[in-house]
Amino acid sequence: MLLTILILDVALVAWSLHLMQESFHHREFSLMLASILVAISAAAMMVVYFLISTCMTHLTQIFQHSYIYF
């Protein structure tokens, strides 16, 4: 799962860089804004993945320890 998300994230960053390069070439602010939004979404996706991963690890440990008491 991590590999899939990393590949998708690298693709988003590459697309963001492509949009930024095109915005400099065509002198368009809208493409620059789009590239920034794509880069932010790629970063946010990685943050959410690591938060969910940590949360799931924590919940798994709690459930494993709760079975010991019952």
CA distance 7 to 9: 5
pLDDT (0 to 100) of residue 33:
92
pLDDT (0 to 100) of residue 67:
64
The domain spans of the chain are 2-69
SS3 (DSSP) at 45: helix
Using one digit for the tens of pLDDT, what is the confidence trace for 24-70? 899 998 989 999 999 999 999 989 988 888 888 888 888 777 666 65
CA distance 17 to 39: 8
Higher-confidence residue of 17 and 69: namely: 17
Question: What's the mean pLDDT in 10-24?
Answer: 91
pLDDT (0 to 100) of residue 68:
61
Q: What is the pTM of this model?
A: 0.72
